[in-house]
Amino acid sequence: MSAGHTPVLAEEAVRWLRIDPEGTYVDATVGLGGHALEIARQLTTGRLIGIDRDARALEVARKRLEEYEKRVTLVQADFSSIDEVMNGLGAGPVHGVLADLGVSSLQLDTAERGFSFRLGGPLDMRMDSDSDEAITAADIVNQTAERELADLLYQYGEERDSRRIARTIVRARPIRSTTHLATVVAGAGTSRGRQKLHPATKTFLALRIAVNRELEALGQFLNRVPATLAPGGRWVVLSYHSLEDRLVKQKFQQLSREGVCAVLTRKVERPTDAEIAANPRARSGKMRVAEKLMPEEIPADWPRL
């Protein structure tokens, strides 16, 4: 599985991190270890801390990073707890933080995880599939009131036909599998002419975000990272849909106004056509980068973005 995993904007991310071979770096969403491997290769006496809430992904990452195990520490946790992870490891301010907000190939390509409408499986979608506390996509699909479900699809999936889809889902209950849900959504009759996306794409996105409380976790992560960065430390974030990117952009702008960070990418960096051709999942990737300012670098009239 790891062999088929291709990290998005890997070369660009490492370049922006400006790796110090003796520095400490955090891959806050280590996944299958693609970006982490590129960072670890450049370290000598430095340290890489990888965080992920998916135990199965960490197993793959651990094997992938085995050659560099003396300088790599992997921790199962949500990236929103980055400050707690650092404190628990006794790690001081770090030289760089990377977060790739995408779903890993392991999750998308494993039918029983329930992330993909292209593979038949249970409606699960939990990033931490070992957690008994988290609700599943099946819980939301089969138990949420129609109006609330429509609002969820509109808010998290930006689905314009959310009310019609919600009504169709409620009528088709119970829905237990990914293929059943995809068929129900496709049958809602929302298609307008030729579409690039499968009719269920936005519904599955919305459910995944809701199940994993992704926007809430991202907000906590964005609030906590600045305190973990050393002055001059770089912060790289890759996002894949507008809701995530908007939160990252707004937080970076806020930190710039407050004189905490400088935004290094005034426009998002995107994959090249060549990268997209080689890795189609990279097509929606957007990368933003900020740098923690030294106290003496903050002028009294710090410009507002």
| Per-residue pLDDT at 298 exceeds 90 | no
Instruction: Find, among 65, 57, 142, the residue nearest to 102 by Cα.
Output: 57
Q: Is the pLDDT of residue 3 over 50?
A: no
Of 58, 12, 8, the residue nearest 234 (C-alpha) = 12
DSSP element (H, E) containing 182: helix 178-186
**How large is the average pLDDT for residues 209-231?**
97
In the chain, where are the structural domains located? Answer: 2-106+214-297, 117-212
CB atoms within 10 A of CB 3: 8
The sign one gets for the Cα dihedral 34, 81, 98, 19 is negative
Is it the case that residue 2 has pLDDT exceeding 50? no
List CB contacts of 102: < 8 A, sequence separation 6 or more. Answer: 8, 31, 238, 240, 281, 285
Measured CA to CA, the distance from residue 96 to residue 35 in angstroms comes to: 13
Tens digits of per-residue pLDDT, 157-190? 999 999 999 999 999 999 989 999 999 999 987 6
pLDDT digits (tens, 9 = 90+) for 255-291: 999 999 999 998 999 999 999 999 998 999 999 999 9
Confidence check: pLDDT of 88 > 60 = yes
Q: What is the mean pLDDT of residues 85-98?
A: 95
In single-letter form, the type of residue at position 274 comes to: A
Q: Which amino acid is at 301?
A: D
Q: What is the pLDDT of residue 304?
A: 38
Distance of CA 35 to the CA centre of its chain: 13
Pick the CATH number of 2-106+214-297 from 2.40.30.20, 1.10.260.40, 3.40.50.150, 3.40.50.720: 3.40.50.150
Which H helix or E strand runs over 47? strand 47-52
Indicate the pLDDT class of residue 113, thresholds 50, 70 and 90.
confident
Estimate to the nearest angstrom the gap between the alpha carbon of 180 and the chain centroid. Answer: 26
The residues, any chain, with a CB within 8 Å of residue 41's CB and separated by 6 or more, are: 68
pLDDT tens-digit series, residues 34-77: 999 999 999 999 999 999 999 999 999 999 999 999 999 999 99
Pick the CATH number of 117-212 from 1.10.3720.10, 3.30.70.1140, 1.10.150.170, 1.10.1740.10: 1.10.150.170
Supply φ then ψ for residue 95, to 5 degrees.
-85, -15
C-alpha to C-alpha distance for 207 and 43, rounded to whole angstroms: 39
For residue 77, report the phi and psi dihedrals to the nearest 5 degrees: -170, 165
If you average pLDDT over residues 69-86, what whole number do you get? 97
Q: How many CB atoms lie within 10 A of CB 121?
A: 18
